[in-house]
Structure 1
Amino acid sequence: MLKHRIPSGIMMTLGLVLLMWADDALGRRGMPPGLILLGLVIALGALASTELAALLRAKWGHCSRLSTFGSAAVGCLMVYLLPMIETPRTAVAFFGSGVAGVLFFSMFRHSFLRKETQGAAAAGANAVFAMVYLGILPGMYLLIREAGYSAWVIAAIIMVVKSCDIGAYFTGRFLGKHKLIEWLSPGKTWEGLVGGMLFAGLWAVVFTLIGNHLVPERAIAPLYALPAGMLLGFLGQVGDLVASLLKRDAGVKDWAATIPGFGGVMDVADSALIVAPVAYWLITLAPAA
């Protein structure tokens, strides 16, 4: 598996760097920040929605790929567009209307297409879950971009999270003895978790020092970066466990077999999803150097 993971990981890293460079370059030329990132999230959401719909279908029997993707896209677009509304009350009203629209549209679509009532509640719940999991959560990265931070900050966050995956894998492989949650994820160990968090914290410090040098007016205290990076790494592992919980609940091993050595798009993205809201607060509330 490792021989497939390394080239796939390199290609994905290069792709991420290229897209973040393009988004940052367009932002400096006066384009709305995060446009390319928005396109990336929606494109990945289309692939991930297919995987999530298949998983939910394995569990509940009925789940529309179109409804899953549409719900995710609505969630992502709301997070991206609603901050542009000047009146907070109006923004909240649009958000509430969007959630209600996704819920009831998916319920009635399910029932009227099949001309049956069975599964209507599950269809609505699946759509709202997809809206949050594949729309609102990754949309929080767009919110960081809209807050005036460079696309490179988002790239650094994702790399810190994935560095915890790498550190946990190798630490657990060579030093792991005590199972973390054996009934949920037998391969994870406490030693791997600690090693991964330390690795993530160190990379957070490295990225912070680089960022402080390149953008001194937005310098962040390096001592803040260490625990922040460790927290992001820990939450990334929680994201992995949440994905394992969903897969085990549905009785499947991997989301898909799209990416050699990794599985599906969700097998790569799951650790970065749950991190996004906390990353937003850690970045926007970070103390100056």
Structure 2
Amino acid sequence: MVKAMTIREAYLQASSFLRERGVTDDASCAELLLQHLLGWDRTGLLLRWAEPFPAELAARWERLLARKAAGEPLQYITGRQEFYGLPFRVTGDVLIPRPETELLVEAIVAHGRRLWPDGAPLLADVGTGSGAIAVSAAVLCPRWRVVASDLSAAALEVARGNAEANGVAPRIDWLRGDLLAPHIERGLRIDILVSNPPYIPSGDIAGLQTEVRDFEPHTALDGGADGLDLYRRMIGQLRSLPAVPRLVGFEVGQGQAADVADMLRAAGHWDEVGVVDDLAGIGRHVVAVRPAAGPAASQ
């Protein structure tokens, strides 16, 4: 397919190949796949457009293009995704970190710094996946203690690797288990609870775009009949902790923010419950805060 071509010609042919197979961002994908294949950044790629395409990489190049044409997300093909300016390894065992989740990290860090200006709160990231939230919080707030949990052993392995790559592994503890169960078993006193749990209604899974439905782990997508099962369960588990967290942040699906906010208000543990919109104006995160360190706890 690419024999005797220059790198630029290989790029043009790849773009056309992907476009014909319905890949809407064909040019960008072709360029990023070339960078991945050749190990060059964009500047290096453009400076070497006229060089011959390495014949020994032709077969691998065709396999990469076939994977993308079949709908596989680019991040799984390259094994990388940036989040909050940090590099993360991603595999099919974890969801690909989304830019909107960065807004949840921003909100939690801002509230946490205000609530504990000189302290070292314990943040629990439940359903950590790639570790994007836990690792970013550990990088941004070096004094904070962080515990990250997931039901999937494979996901925890990916998250551990990302913590090591970003230099915060010694400051994160890892727990395997279902939602808050491992925290309850250990009697952890959580100050900050943050989670981006599965929230897609079960009946909607089949209608998701191919990249999500066929490649991302369903256990990290399926939120039950109405998509809210895991929020209900986590909120119900809070009373079994030594103390209810003063700060809670949940990412939610489109149209779910009001329902999740109502659940948190009904629980009655926090003075403030608000919704954070994403850049498209969609309510994407629900944050509950108890400013004073009162005695609200297991009761």
**TM-score (normalised: structure 2):** 0.25
**TM-score (normalised: structure 1):** 0.25
Which one has a larger percent helix, Structure 1 or Structure 2? Answer: 1
Between structure 1 and structure 2, the one with the greater Rg is 2
- Higher RCO, 1 vs 2 (CA within 8 Å, ≥6 residues apart): 1
